[in-house]
């Protein structure tokens, strides 16, 4: 449609749409946000609102809309559906506008730039990330720049990572939106969901552009003051380009100040526990595998925080546990002190429970989107600080002492907020009524004038009723005519001559009088002046808070940490957790350990505790320190009692066999979760625990496929296993469950055997390996660090009871048929399975274990050549040409008894008929032996 044929309003719409790009344009028209053309069609489907049209005729324009006061819930739906939204507001007063009201796009709302509480989960961080991949084959080609920010709190980080670490970091951050250059290759599906990716012009990540954006925002010449070394080339520059790209994106979409983003924090993984995406998923650290819910995860179980800032910090701690022993023990000291002093802990929690989310409140203040209620909530939070600070004085743990010092009372901010704002402030400043009486004389004066005006109106109405004899007369007000006198038609004859008719209704007339109009002007002038004065006060208070944003952010961070420590203390005290002895040596000595989630979700007293004794091979105190500070290495000799006579010495590799449902997976997960808990500074559910710090935790538990990536269950399993084998170190903790079960029995068993040997021989890290391959238990005799354990089972009268107790030794069988029976598999199927099982066991009995034992008879000996049958590698050929194997053990073949009869048969003494009958007999016997008889 030619521009000249468009109405002024639609011309304005198209200008705004060009600024909005691919975002849905919410165009403010009076009391509604309207959408047009394709945006209207998308909104109608997404929001479930009516699709209508504008300019009905030959070329109607699709249109949809909703009331302006419903913006937040509709925005939430738009973002959840994967769209972006551009808010186009009226930026001038319609009363003062000459012609069409001026409108502008005031912000573009995207998944990574949310700041409104109604659009955010209070307990979850909302990160916007940017990734800069290297170009070409430079020296830094193995590195990538990554930056991430929570716009709602101002936390801003940047770092350079090796390419093989990017997936780990993105899994930890879980960005709501990921920015990449439009010239960059599409990130691997293993890194992030493609729905979160936003393509940006490559120049926004350019070295010069990014540097200018950063230095301009922070008001510096360089970023060396934040800990980033000056480096015009190389990997460091990649992270700066990513951070600059984020600031460019925020400037383009938010069109606001971001004073709460006051520093860029260099992130280091040197003293953080590395956790890959598969491990995070398997251990259900922050979300359950089944439905992705927080409830039922480790985070949901541990979270006893009473503030949203504390809940988010606890999630951060779990996402990146510490490896620095001194820092871990500092947290444990603080938790321990609060556990011992329950009264102080409870009082702290009660005060913290009353504070507001100051981090997100400050974000709204500095971006100009705060309400009077937001400022009042900041004032209420500051009023609680003296009580919190007092509870932290004279603490003996260093961390609590440091946190007390970091709590800035900000009295210069608190005082004006408390004096100026009423207790119950409105949600919007334009409504007025939020300045406390007595704060400003001119505000009080205009309020009295307005109150007097209302009294005058009431008296005027009474006087007019009496003078005219129209007792039903009433005074009203609307935005068109102002104040008026309404008289029903039954009293029309009594209307005085000085009444001026302004509006006719069905059963009444509305009038004004010169006297009424004169006083109306005084009242309305007072109301306008009052609102203007209140907005002036509000603006000054907002600027006061914004100027103190850095101090307030630091205080909010301290409050969050206090909340987490107090929450961990409350959990430890209520669940009878014990303080772990955290050391640098790669050991695990856990007595009566309990799974932290099941210990709470299962009925009290039903969860069976278990011990864990494990230590990495050949890594002593002198060479097991983590990080650069050797002072963190701890002499642990006094921590470990000699093994009891009934339990073997700690091994590096615990091989756990036993039936399904007995608790193998629970046990190995439990060990990993207790290690993770200890490394965030938490007490653990156990009677005693000595936990050596792990540099990485690997968990390969359960089966899953990724069909969208063209990977089967077994391919995913082998890919994850390969990563463990290639990146685990002697200080790592590895838990593996049913490795090799996704392929044929002999392929899987061979792989599992080889994997066990490699981890034991080449890596030597602490490993818990749950398996149904009982053949692997022979490795205990051949590998010094392998220890067999099994889950105890009680049998009687063909019934099985799982005792869920981990005991030394190997399991005798798997009880799979019993588990199938418990699962409800039809009885006829189970009965038939027992018959087949008995037949298979009878066939295998003679060769049980022979080949496996001979294979490992000497260290490093290669597998024996399988015995050949009729010239083929352990196979005979049936009548239809299919290969029939008589493989009874892992690395050898058992001959069929018929072979000896064939070798010794005197074929020369048989006639043709006798020979034919003999061959037919052999065929019949061979077929009968191959298939178990049906009932």
- Three-state secondary structure readout of 740-792: CCCCCHHHHHHHHHHHHHHHHHHHCCEEEEECCCHHHHHHHHHCCCEEEEEEE
pLDDT computed for residue 870 by the predictor: 35
Q: Are 248 and 204 in contact (CB under 8 A)?
A: yes
Which are the contacts of 862, defined by CB distance < 8 A and separation ≥ 6? Answer: none
Give the separation between CA 473 and CA 482, rounded to whole angstroms: 16
Place of tokens 């007000």: 477
Which are the contacts of 133, defined by CB distance < 8 A and separation ≥ 6? Answer: 144, 163, 180, 184, 185, 187
Give the separation between CA 773 and CA 741, rounded to whole angstroms: 9
E strands, 536-586, are 581-583
Give the separation between CA 544 and CA 549, rounded to whole angstroms: 9
Q: Are 814 and 660 in contact (CB under 8 A)?
A: yes
pLDDT computed for residue 650 by the predictor: 67
Backbone angles phi, psi at 925, to 5 degrees: -65, -40
- Between strands 52-54 and 61-67, the pairing is antiparallel
pLDDT computed for residue 413 by the predictor: 96
Cβ neighbours of 50 (radius 10 Å):
11
In angstroms, what CA-CA distances link 830 with 67, 773, 797, 816? Answer: 63, 22, 16, 10
Which are the contacts of 638, defined by CB distance < 8 A and separation ≥ 6? Answer: none
Q: Are 196 and 175 in contact (CB under 8 A)?
A: yes
DSSP state of 463: H
Chain centroid to Cα 235, Å, comes to 28
Give the separation between CA 917 and CA 338, rounded to whole angstroms: 89
pLDDT computed for residue 706 by the predictor: 45
Give the separation between CA 363 and CA 385, rounded to whole angstroms: 20
Which are the contacts of 768, defined by CB distance < 8 A and separation ≥ 6? Answer: 612, 614, 654, 656, 667, 668, 671, 734, 735, 736
pLDDT computed for residue 77 by the predictor: 92
3-state helix, strand and coil shares in percent for the chain, rounded to the nearest 5: 45, 20, 35
For residue 138, what are the β-bridge partners?
none
pLDDT computed for residue 571 by the predictor: 97
Which are the contacts of 33, defined by CB distance < 8 A and separation ≥ 6? Answer: 26, 27, 65, 66, 67, 68, 71, 74, 87
Give the chain's length: 935
The span from the first CA to the last CA of the chain, in angstroms, equals 82
pLDDT computed for residue 698 by the predictor: 94
Give the separation between CA 839 and CA 818, rounded to whole angstroms: 17
For residue 85, what are the β-bridge partners?
24, 109
For residue 109, what are the β-bridge partners?
85
Q: Structure pTM?
A: 0.81
Residue 394, by phi and psi: left (phi above 0), alpha (psi -120 to 50) or beta?
left
Which are the contacts of 151, defined by CB distance < 8 A and separation ≥ 6? Answer: 112, 113, 114, 115, 126, 128, 250, 254, 258, 261, 363
Which residue positions in the chain have pLDDT lower than 50? 137-140, 232-233, 620-648, 705-710, 846-893, 933-935
């Amino acid at each position: 449609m030619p521009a000249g044929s468009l109405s002024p309003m639609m011309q304005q719409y198209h200008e705004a749409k060009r600024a909005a790009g691919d975002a849905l344009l919410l165009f403010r028209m009076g009391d509604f946000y309207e959408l047009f053309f394709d945006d209207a069609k998308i909104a109608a489907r997404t929001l479930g609102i009516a699709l209508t049209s504008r300019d009905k005729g030959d070329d109607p324009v699709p249109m949809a809309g909703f009331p302006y006061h419903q913006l937040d819930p509709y925005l939430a739906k738009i973002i959840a559906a994967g769209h972006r939204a551009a808010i186009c507001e009226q930026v001038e007063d319609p009363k003062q506008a000459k012609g069409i009201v001026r409108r502008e796009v005031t912000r573009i709302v995207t998944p990574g730039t949310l700041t409104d509480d109604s659009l955010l989960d209070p307990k979850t961080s909302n990160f916007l990330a940017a990734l800069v991949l290297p170009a070409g084959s430079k020296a830094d080609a193995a590195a990538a720049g990554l930056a991430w920010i929570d716009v709602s709190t101002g936390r801003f980080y940047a770092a350079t990572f090796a390419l093989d670490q990017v997936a780990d970091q993105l899994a930890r951050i879980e960005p709501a939106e990921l920015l990449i250059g439009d010239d960059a290759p599409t990130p691997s599906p293993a890194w992030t969901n493609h729905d979160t990716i936003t393509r940006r012009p490559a120049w926004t990540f350019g070295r010069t552009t990014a540097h200018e954006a950063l230095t301009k925002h922070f008001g510096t010449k360089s970023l060396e003051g934040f800990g980033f070394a000056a480096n015009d080339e190389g990997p460091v520059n990649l992270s700066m380009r990513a951070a600059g790209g984020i600031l460019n994106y925020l400037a383009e979409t938010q069109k606001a100040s971001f004073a709460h983003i006051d520093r860029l924090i260099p992130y280091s993984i040197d003293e953080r526990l590395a956790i890959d995406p598969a491990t995070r998923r398997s251990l259900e650290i922050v979300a359950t595998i089944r439905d992705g819910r927080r409830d039922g995860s480790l985070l949901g179980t541990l979270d006893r925080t009473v503030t949203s800032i504390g809940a988010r910090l606890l999630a951060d701690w779990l996402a990146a546990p510490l490896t620095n022993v001194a820092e871990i023990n500092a947290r444990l000291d603080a938790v321990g002190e609060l556990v011992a002093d329950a009264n102080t802990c409870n009082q702290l929690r009660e005060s913290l429970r009353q504070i507001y989310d100051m981090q997100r409140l400050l974000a709204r203040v500095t971006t100009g989107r705060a309400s009077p209620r937001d400022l009042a909530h900041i004032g209420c939070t500051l009023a609680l600080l003296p009580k919190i600070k007092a509870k932290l004085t004279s603490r003996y743990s260093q961390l609590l002492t440091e946190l007390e010092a970091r709590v800035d009372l900000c009295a210069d901010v608190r005082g004006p907020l408390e004096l100026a704002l009423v207790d119950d402030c409105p949600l919007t400043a334009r409504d007025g009524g939020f300045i406390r009486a007595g704060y400003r004389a001119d505000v009080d004066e205009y309020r009295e004038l307005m109150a007097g005006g209302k009294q005058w109106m009431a008296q005027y109405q009474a006087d007019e009723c009496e003078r005219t004899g129209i007792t039903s007369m009433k005074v009203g007000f609307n935005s068109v005519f102002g104040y008026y006198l309404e008289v029903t038609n039954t009293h029309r004859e009594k209307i005085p001559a000085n009444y001026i008719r302004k509006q006719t209704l069905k059963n009444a007339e509305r009038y004004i009088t010169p006297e009424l109009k004169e006083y109306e002007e005084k009242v309305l002038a007072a109301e306008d002046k009052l609102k203007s004065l209140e907005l002036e006060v509000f603006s000054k208070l907002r600027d006061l808070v914004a100027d103190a944003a850095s101090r307030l952010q630091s205080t909010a961070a301290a409050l969050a940490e206090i909340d987490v420590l107090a929450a961990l203390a409350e959990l430890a005290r209520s669940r009878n957790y014990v303080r772990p002895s955290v050391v640098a040596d790669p050991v695990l000595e856990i007595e009566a350990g309990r799974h932290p989630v099941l210990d709470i979700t299962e009925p009290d007293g039903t969860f069976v505790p278990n011990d864990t004794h494990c230590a990495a091979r050949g890594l002593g105190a002198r060479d097991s320190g983590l990080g650069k500070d050797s002072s963190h290495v701890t002499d642990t000799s006094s921590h470990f009692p000699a093994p009891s006579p009934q339990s073997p010495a700690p091994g590096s590799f615990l091989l756990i066999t036993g039936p399904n449902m007995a608790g193998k997976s629970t046990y190995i997960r439990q060990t990993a979760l207790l290690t993770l808990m200890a490394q965030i500074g938490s007490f653990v559910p156990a009677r005693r625990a000595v936990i050596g710090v792990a540099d990485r935790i690997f968990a390969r538990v359960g089966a899953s496929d990724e069909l969208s990536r063209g990977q089967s269950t077994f391919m995913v399993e082998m890919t994850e296993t390969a990563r463990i084998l290639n990146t685990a170190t002697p200080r790592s903790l590895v838990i593996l469950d049913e490795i090799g079960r996704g392929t044929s029995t002999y392929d899987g068993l061979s792989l599992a055997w080889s994997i066990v040997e490699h981890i034991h021989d080449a890596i030597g890290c602490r490993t818990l390996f749950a398996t149904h391959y009982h053949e692997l238990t022979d490795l205990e005799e051949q590998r010094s660090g392998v220890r067999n354990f099994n889950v105890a089972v009680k049998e009687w009268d063909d019934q099985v009871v799982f005792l869920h107790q981990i005991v030394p030794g190997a399991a005798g069988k798997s009880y799979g048929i019993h588990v199938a029976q418990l699962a409800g598999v039809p009885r006829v199927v189970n009965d038939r399975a027992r018959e087949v099982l008995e037949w298979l066991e009878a066939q295998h009995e003679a060769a049980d274990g022979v080949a496996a034992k001979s294979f490992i008879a000497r260290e490093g000996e290669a597998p024996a050549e399988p015995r050949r049958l009729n010239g083929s590698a352990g196979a005979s050929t049936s009548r239809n040409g299919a290969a029939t194997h008589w493989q009874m053990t892992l690395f050898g073949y058992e001959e069929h008894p018929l072979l000896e009869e064939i070798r010794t048969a005197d074929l020369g003494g048989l006639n043709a008929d006798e020979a034919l009958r003999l061959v037919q007999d052999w065929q019949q016997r061979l077929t009968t032996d191959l298939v178990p008889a049906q009932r």
